[in-house]
Structure 1
Amino acid sequence: MASGKLLYAQSGGVTAVINASASAVIAEARARKIKVLAARNGILGALREDLIDTSKESAAAIRALAHTPGGAFGSCRFKLKSLEQDRAKYERLLDVLKAHDVRYFLYNGGNDSADTALKVSKLAAEFGYPLTCIGVPKTIDNDLAVTDCCPGFGSAAKYTAVSVREAAFDVAAMAETSTKVFVYEAMGRHAGWLAAAAGLAGNGPDEAPHLILFPERAYDEADFLANVKKVVAKVGYCVVVASEGIRTADGTFVADAGGGKDAFGHTQLGGVASYLAGKVKDELGYKVHWTLPDYLQRSARHIASKTDLDQAMAAGKAAVQFALKGLNSTMPVIKRTSNAPYKWKIEAAPLEKVANHEKTMPANFLRKDGYGITAAARAYLEPLIRGEAPPPYGRDGLPKYVTLKNVAVKKKLPAWEG
């Protein structure tokens, strides 16, 4: 039997299925007789020695995690810098791991989290501490390198496509005497994967969404307004989907919220839909409605993709298996083996090939005019939103989600002053 404990932590923005990965991690570790600790609020909990004893949770509660959105143990946006710049923090983290006999560290997050896991593994090796570090993939942006897709994206993509299709029926019904243009804002800072997923809502050239604005293509306001006018004249109304990260030709974010930078050095974005709606109203005179789904895109567990759920759980299970095999500094990634029928498998990828790399959409996924997706994009995206995995519902008509007890582990070290 393997010795030592496993520490699991969640990082960055959560998804509809990140808890499914956590559920699979804990269940697989229990099956292997490995005790799992969880860091409260991500890497901050590890630094503060604020750890949770997951053995205090029932098997039923752990199973229920698979259909519960959010981050059961808490997440955080806290970026550790290089080993040289933040050495004291890394050494504190190693001290916490040693104090609790943690031999496996699983960090469930995106690019920056993969980088952190890689750095922790290097520090452990430097100090001769036997630690296996595994990155567990998660992001709704679908921008992780190496993996075909990322757990979390499929469900957000399904929510986006369904929401746009439903809203389009509403707009079509009201267009004669009321709303002519509807603008939907999708998450996506540098990669337009979620905006592209909205393209699944329609099939024909006159079906919504009529115009999609991608970060991969420079925003040209005059051209955009001309196309809106053209669509309204032809169809009677126009549904626009815009990625939050669209930029003008000089690289300026159209929706720079003016809120400075976050912990990861990202410009705070927000409001591209309201901006575009204002321009359409002022320049073209149409009545416009707009929406900013924001957190709804990543928390909508009630409409999760079954494909996404299966992949999230497979990644969590494989992460434990990789850890116990000693596959240090790796991440379980998804490899597509067939499109028709859709098939996939889990493989191990080096964290060095994932950390701080960003996957944008291939050029052949964007329609020539830049305002829609191609058949190639549709073939890639459609399987990822396939299948339903609804949560159980109570008599009150609401999903029966679980809240864990999250019992703290007794601290052994002095308080962290960082």
Structure 2
Amino acid sequence: MPGTLLYAQSGGVTAVINATASAVITEARARKVKVLAARNGILGALREELIDTSKESAAAIRALAHTPGGAFGSCRVKLKSLEADRARYERLLAVFKAHDVRWFLYNGGNDSADTALKVSRLAAEFDYPLTCIGVPKTVDNDLAVTDCCPGFGSAAKYTAVSVREAALDVAAMAETSTKVFVYEAMGRHAGWLAAAAGLAGKGSDDAPHLILFPERPYDEADFLAQVKKIVARVGYCVVVASEGIRSADGKFVADAGGGKDSFGHTQLGGVASFLAGRVKDQLGMKVHWTLPDYLQRSARHLASKTDLEQAMAVGKTAVQFALKGMNATMPVIRRTSDAPYRWKIEAAPLEKVANHEKTMPAGFIRKDGYGITASARRYLEPLIRGESPPPYGRDGIPKYVTLKNVAVKAKLADFTG
């Protein structure tokens, strides 16, 4: 088939984004379509740093499905409006024309969906035959329209399992040592990962005992009172806090004062350490805290099988949508049944996804604001089900793959914009 497909990864990677890449390349190969990958996301497309995936063996592409990270490199770069970033958009189009790119698949979150939408509009303006597809990915689960987002289920499983295991450790030591343990979960504006920690226990005295959501204002006096009460009742207290919790005035509790990144996001500086300090100073209890950070999204060894299957399904379907000419579209997941859990892939227009953020429904957060409801549990549990561990070598380390990433020859002048 004439024409080239360009695939790019965007934003923070996940344990299964490479599984999506694997599915994209495998499906395109089956349809005799050449796939180029942009090195370091949209930056690679702008710089004409493109990778020829045909140089990779079928075995290497299959191995991507169990390898974490971003095989081609990702970046946090958001293009502005077509008017404000005109030169960059026109450069993208020039690169696409130079390499006969007719299908552009951008694997990312809200901002990436917005970029794909804008590129599709520019191509239409210049009457260039280009089909743009947004491919969903984020550990934060905050994409609109889709029931869940590939990448979230595995991070959620890692969170729930880690909290369960750590809680057993704390319980064993509580009599003479640690009374309070604080676990920080990713989630700037949406508390989905913090909520997933709630799957670690079911009883009222099971950890986590307190979950702090960004959807609820942080009240320090009430929080400390709750910690004191739980320690008195249970003997210890496990707290899970979303990195993006805010005080009543809207300020991030963990604002590190480091300015904003290219996406306009405030640099957050460790809410767990802050909370641990307040508990120690105000209640005089021994506290331990953890900041799993990248571990949450890179833990492929503990990936959810459901998440892996969905990540590969959106990749395969993205290619099918692209070849059908379904421009400015995203393959999204629709849940058709809770019990048994059933789902399917549908098409959604990018304009309904771009720059929209899905936060936790009020009905998912317990009335006291410190835990999840039965509705949240029904939604979350299927997403972490199943195991699909990577193959391990005799050295005890997973057998992950590193691609050759052979560059194609540049045809245009260097871009300095």
The interval holding the TM-score normalised by the smaller chain is: over 0.9
Amino acid at match of 1:10: Q
Verify: 1:312 aligned to 2:317, yes or no.
no
Residue 270 of structure 1, CA deviation: 2.3
Q: Which amino acid aligns with 1:332?
A: P
Percent identical residues: 88
Code of the aligned partner of 2:21: A
1:150 shift after superposition:
0.1
Asked if residue 162 in structure 1 is aligned to residue 161 in structure 2, the reply is yes
Residue matched to 1:237: 236
1:51-108 residue CA offsets vs partner (Å, 9 max, x unmatched): 0000000000000000000000000001100000000000000000000000000000
SS in structure 2 opposite 1:30? helix
Distance in structure 1 (CA, Å) of the matches to 2:226 and 2:328: 48
Number of aligned residues: 417
Question: How does 1:14-413 map onto structure 2 within 5 Å?
Answer: 14-413=13-412
Alpha-carbon distance, 1:258 to partner? 1.2
* Aligned-partner Cα distance in 1 for 2:209–2:400: 36
Q: What RMSD over aligned residues (CA atoms) do the two structures have, in Å?
A: 0.3
The one-letter code matched in structure 1 to 2:49 is D
1:141, 1:269 → 2: CA distance? 15
Where structure 1 has 5 or more consecutive residues not aligned to the other structure, the ranges are none
The aligned amino acid for 1:218 is P
Give 1:175 shift. 0.2
How many angstroms apart in 2 are the aligned matches of 1:257 and 1:375? 35
* AA matched with 2:58: A
Deviations 1:262-318 (A, max 9, x none): 010000012100000000000001000000000000000000000000000000000
Structure 1 letter corresponding to 2:296: Q
List per-residue Cα deviations over 1:221-269 (Å, max 9, x = no partner).
0000000000000000000000000000000000001111001000001
**2:225 aligned counterpart, secondary structure:** helix
Structure 1 length-normalised TM: 1.00
What CA distance in whole angstroms lies between the structure 2 residues aligned with 1:323 and 1:10?
17
- 2:23 and 2:336 mapped to 1: Cα distance? 23
5+ long unaligned stretches in structure 2: none
The 4+ residue runs of structure 1 with deviation greater than 4 A are none
Q: Distance in 2 between matches of 1:70 and 1:190?
A: 23
Give, in whole Å, the separation in 2 of the partners of 1:212 and 1:277.
Answer: 14
Distance 1:321 1:396 in 2: 40
Matching residue's letter, 2:362: A
- AA of the residue aligned to 1:170: D
3-state SS of paired residue (2:117): helix
